[in-house]
Amino acid sequence: MTNDDMGLLDTEFGKRRLLTVEVPAVEAYNCGRDAGFGIALNRVGGALVLGYQLKPCHNVYRLETRLLSSYPTVPPETRVLTPLKHCPHLLEGQTLCLWRQGSTRAASRWDPAQFTCVFAVQAAWRWLACYEVWHETGEWPLPEAK
């Protein structure tokens, strides 16, 4: 197995991060939450996938957030599984533009020292709230994450 093939669960650092930081954050998020809106963790190949639903305003959306082998250095990837109307802040495959794409670590909005995968879920909620405002008004209410 090469380093490129290694998943988050294949390294000691990744296992420690999951057990001490990520899983407790997910458990805290799920505590007291309706089961339909909790985060489910699944391993898919070398990635860990969070499956969940969010209801920021009027609609319920199904999403998945992938923690790739380069996580937490590289931010998680979040996509909406519920069909959306195309908007300027939606990337290919209904992936959400949450972080500065292709930016340097210093300029990125993602900070692996401060954020957990639950932060990505909260960022997705905020993005979907903006999407619903945009859908009604035609204007995106927050600055872009270029």
Q: Measured between alpha carbons, how far is residue 130 from residues 28, 61, 144 in Å?
A: 25, 13, 11
pLDDT confidence bin for 55, thresholds 50/70/90: very high
Q: Which domains does the chain have, with CATH numbers?
A: 3-137 (3.10.110)
Q: How much is the pLDDT for 27?
A: 95
pLDDT exceeds cutoff 50 at 1: no
CA 82 – CA 67 distance, rounded (Å): 20
In percent, the amount of the chain with pLDDT more than 90 equals: 52
CA 136 – CA 85 distance, rounded (Å): 12
Burial label for 126, CB within 10 Å (0-12, 13-18, 19+), is middle
Given a contact cutoff of 8 angstroms between Cβ atoms, the answer to whether 47 and 69 are in contact is yes
CA 31 – CA 47 distance, rounded (Å): 24
User: Mean of the pLDDT values across residues 105-134?
Assistant: 86
Poorest-pLDDT segment among 49-53, 88-92, 118-122, 124-128:
88-92
pLDDT confidence bin for 122, thresholds 50/70/90: very high
Given a contact cutoff of 8 angstroms between Cβ atoms, the answer to whether 115 and 20 are in contact is no
More confident residue, 57 or 2: 57
Poorest-pLDDT segment among 10-24, 35-49, 50-64, 94-108:
94-108
Q: Name the average pLDDT for the chain.
A: 85
**Could you tell me the pTM of the whole model?**
0.85
More confident residue, 99 or 15: 15
Q: How much is the pLDDT for 6?
A: 57
Rg (CA), the chain: 15
Q: How much is the pLDDT for 128?
A: 96
